[in-house]
Amino acid sequence: MSPLVPPLLTGFFGTVGLALIIGLELHAYRRRGLPNLAPELQGFGTTRTATLIAALGFVLWVAGGVAPFCVGLAVIGAALLLEYRARVQAGDSSLLPSVVGLLCFALGPVVLSVPLAVLAGLVIIILFTLGEQGQIRRFSDAFPSEEGVTLAKFLVLAGVIYPLLPDTELPYLPGITYPKIWAAVLVISGISYLGYLAHRYAFPRAGTLLTGVLGGIYSSTAATVVLARAVRADGSQGTLAPAAAVLATGMMYARLLMVIALLGHIDAVRLLGLPFGVLFFASLAVGGLLARRAPRGAAATHGQVSANPLDLPVALLFAVLFVVFAGVTQAVTARYGVSGLHVLSFVVGFSDIDPFIFSLLDGKFQVGVSGVAGAVLIASASNNLLKALYALGFSRSKAMLPAALWLILSMALSLIYAFTVL
């Protein structure tokens, strides 16, 4: 059964309709930028022009194909260039209307060839760029130059290094491939970076509890150290710092499960979902109980949990630790089996557990999935012991004792589950 409306006619009406909407927003943009000029003196930017340009591009593409369309694009481009030159002489150097004009001309082929989601995304970007001029300018003025460098580093990590890595295993490390190592680097760096951005820009004056939550997304150990030092520097901040430290550890469990799932280790997620889930919600409950005990109005602010975590030396260090831990784990499991792995996991918990955990998950060691999951749980347990020692040592205050006790209790529960269930 043939459709009621031919596809070409649907595409034409869609092109004209979208161009009309873009033209309306473009006209409003030009009026805001040049409010004192009459419409006829404002140059390109009318709704009718944008709509007719889009209709012309659609007809040339459908009727003649690529060659006539390219000729029309060259003519429209030349006309917009002359119009832009005249606007520059009049004191208006904005190139945006000319770019939008070219996009309107190319709208027809886009409507006919790309998925609807891509088309909707393109139109949304155009409308947002035209409609939020003031907000975009304020954001651009406030955007620190170092953040652009940070974004470039992530693009190097994800878009340059990762595609160039050979999909081969490392010598003597079965299951450990170069892309797997770098995928772990990208996931950890990305999640840590999101936590950093949320703390710096979305919640720059985050209260103590929110500091614990956001810090736990990056590093629960670093968050615990910051909170403990804040208690030592100002005893009045000890009211909410224990609750925040417990919340940071709760976020560690959620972050580990998320990263393990993103890296595709679903079997490990199934085994760790129950203990990590229970410890996560229990940490939230304990943190909430400690927060309720604090006096009202106690919401002191804290500085950043860390400097910007997305850095090339940090990424390279993570990759090196990944390989080192994979090699050590391979040697220990080959010689001592699961019992040796458990001892190694407990020892590693007193350092950075992320590279150890993901090297353990990605490798092919002489232990089953339950042995690997148990090692992950043991490493997180001993890491909690380290945080308990940090909480008391850096604060030198009894105020952090409730957080330390919960961290020690969660360590004990993790060890019991690892040795009796997994």
Q: What is the pLDDT of residue 218?
A: 78
Q: What is the pLDDT of residue 32?
A: 75
Q: What is the pLDDT of residue 176?
A: 86
User: Do 127 and 22 form a contact (C-beta atoms < 8 A)?
Assistant: yes
Q: Is residue 43 pLDDT above 70, yes or no?
A: no
Q: What is the pLDDT of residue 382?
A: 95
Q: What is the pLDDT of residue 153?
A: 76
Q: What is the pLDDT of residue 272?
A: 94
Q: What is the pLDDT of residue 164?
A: 87
Least confident of 150-159, 176-185, 408-417: 150-159
> pLDDT digits over 309-353, tens only?
556 677 788 888 888 988 998 888 888 888 899 999 999 989 878
> pLDDT digits over 402-412, tens only?
999 999 999 99
Give ∠ CA 161-162-167 in degrees, rounded to 5. Answer: 120
Q: What is the pLDDT of residue 273?
A: 93
Q: How far apart are CA 106 and CA 123, in angstroms?
A: 12
Q: Is residue 95 pLDDT above 60, yes or no?
A: yes
Q: How far apart are CA 240 and CA 353, in angstroms?
A: 27
Q: What is the pLDDT of residue 407?
A: 96
Q: What is the pLDDT of residue 253?
A: 95
Q: What is the pLDDT of residue 140?
A: 66
User: Do 265 and 258 form a contact (C-beta atoms < 8 A)?
Assistant: no
Compute the residue count for the chain: 422
Question: At 57, is the pLDDT very low, low, confident or very high (cuts 50, 70, 90)?
Answer: very high
Side-chain-side CA neighbours of residue 354 (13 Å): 28
User: Do 245 and 394 form a contact (C-beta atoms < 8 A)?
Assistant: no
> Mean per-residue pLDDT for 130-150?
69
> pLDDT digits over 383-404, tens only?
999 999 999 999 888 989 999 9
Q: Is residue 298 pLDDT above 70, yes or no?
A: no
Beta strand extents in 58-155 (DSSP E only):
none
| Longest pairwise C-alpha distance within the chain | 84
Q: What is the pLDDT of residue 195?
A: 74
Domain boundaries, the chain: 7-141, 146-420
Side-chain-side CA neighbours of residue 417 (13 Å): 24
Highest mean pLDDT among 33-37, 42-46, 267-271: 267-271
DSSP 202-228: ISTT-BHHHHHHHHHHH-HHHHHHHHH
Distances (CA, A) of 10 to 1, 3, 54, 105, 323: 17, 10, 14, 17, 56
Angle between helices 312-348 and 369-395 (to 10 degrees): 100
Please name the residues in contact with 146: beta carbons below 8 A apart, sequence gap of 6 or more. Answer: 308
